[in-house]
Chains A and B, each alone.
Chain A
Amino acid sequence: MIEKTGVPSLEQVKQEFPDKVVLKKPKAIIECYKEIPCNPCHTSCPFDAIFIPEDINVRPKIDFDKCTGCGICVYNCPGLAIMVTQIKEGKILMKIPYEFTPLPKVDQTVNVVNRAGEKISEGIVRKVQLSEKQNKTALIHIELDEKYAYEAITIEVLHGS
């Protein structure tokens, strides 16, 4: 139970996902399960795909038709509660927020974890994005097997040598 452990149930997670057909294109998955006074996902989206009304406590609502999976909301979310996911040829390609040093390198194999912090699979880093406007929250693009679509959430923190 998320209120006790911080881990959402599989049911909760699935509710935030669109139909798998939609995920042929990259889409933002927002896991903001409880009302908090916050709206940068809404104000940062250049495509008006995420909506939060005047009362900023209302949970964000995403329009998957408008979402392009650009990832701008991912590094603007103060709760690091958004990732971008795409399913392609039996693989998922995720863009996750990452705020640790050192950053992983392209083509590096990393350990992918689930929402309880358990290692579920290895993944390959396809791209590392960190521009000035991201303000220190990197976007890491990870590729792994499609079967982990609802489980994969982030990577194990890499430690400096």
Chain B
Amino acid sequence: MRRVEVAIIGSGPAGLAAAKPLLDAGAKVLMIDRSDMLGGQLTKQTHMFFGSEKQHASKRGIDILKLMVDEIQYHENLTVLTETTVVGLYQDRVISCVKHDEYFKIQADYILVASGASEKSLPFENNDLPGVYAAGAVQTLMNVYGVKPGERVLMIGSGNIGLIVSYQLMQAGVEVPMLLEAADTIGGYLVHASKIRRLGVDIRTNMSVKRAIGKASVEAAEIWRLDKHWQGIPGTEEIVPCDTICLSVGLAPLTELLQQAGADIKYVRELGGNVPIINKKYQTSLENVYTCGDVAGIEEASSAMISGEIAGLEIARSAGYKIDNIDQHISRLHDDLTNLRNGPHGEKIRIGLEKVGVK
């Protein structure tokens, strides 16, 4: 069985940010990603990022990806396995992988699970009709492969992803007549909402989709008002002609690998679902198994990058590498995280982390 020093599962913003300090310290890193390119969700983020300069604010996600990959890709201690899906993680830090038709196992001294999140779905009649997409899929089609998902899209969900993908659909020349939000108020940043409202997207709160209409694919959506318990109100139905219904109704941490290995897990609604119990070092309950990014709780890419850097530094320290001023560096990163989570949009994550008991 192949042995590696540090295996990073997932090459999104968190995994990439973790690889840098590890390689700088001298560690040998294996980075595994199921996609054919590095970057995870960054590969499709064509919008400018928020945050401060330290998290590359104002740069576009795709450009941040280039910067992060450039920093590490030719490092002699880095090995990259793309198109490789990690299908198992065991307590003795053996990971099993599938690449094309090949199945193999790797033994690692340290494992960093940076597998990100999966999109949640929404139950409604005919939600299996072609033309019903998750927002991430729409973004991949448009921004990675240059394929329009449809000509007229009804967006469901007003979190930042729903708002941003609506804007990007319009940039691709797709019509977005309406965006529905089940809650009382818009979930994402108001600047993103205002940006699409002024371009004609009708944002409606307390509303959701009742059913998709169409024979072979989506031809329209029936929508309705919701009461305060998020139940549809009969008699309020409207028909919206569209060929695509795009679901942006939240993300769930991809904790399955950690669950399989027996890590302590807790369901925390505010963090998006099942999350591993971690300490401030991003260490799970399993020896030498760490995590970072959305696996530890759904947040923005900016915080994923910071948590990845912290996890990378902590692994390097635990593995015995000497890093100058590491304590000050890590404490500054924790301050940056606190700062990002300080506003009203950080409240959910603050409550969630309290429940996990991160100290």
Contact = CB atoms under 8 A, between A and B. Distances in A.
B189 A36 contact: yes
Contacts of B51: 37-39, 56
A68 interface: no
Contacts of B58: 40, 44, 76-78
A113 B196 CA distance: 12
Interface stretch (A1-9, A18-26, A87-95, A141-149): A1-9
Contacts of B192: 79
Given A37-B346, A38-B57, A157 B170 contact: yes
Nearest to B158: A6
B76 interface: no
Interface residues of B, number: 42
A55 interface: yes
B199 A57 contact: no
B189 A115 contact: no
A113 B49 CA distance: 26
A39 B57 CA distance: 8
A154 B199 CA distance: 8
A25 B291 CA distance: 52
A54 interface: yes
Given A6-B194, A34-B344, A78 B185 contact: no
B190 A4 contact: no
Contacts of A157: 170, 199
A129 interface: no
Given A37-B342, A117-B201, A157-B199, A8 B194 contact: yes
A5 B52 contact: no
A79 B189 contact: yes
Interface of B: 47-53, 57-60, 63, 170-171, 173, 184-186, 189-201, 203, 205, 302, 339-346
**Which 8 pairs between the two chains have the least Cβ-Cβ distance?**
A79-B191, A57-B343, A6-B197, A6-B193, A78-B48, A40-B58, A117-B200, A35-B343
Interface of A: 2-8, 31-40, 43-44, 54-57, 76-81, 99-100, 113-117, 135-137, 153-154, 156-157, 159-160
8 contacts: A7-B197, A35-B343, A37-B340, A37-B341, A37-B346, A55-B339, A114-B198, A135-B63
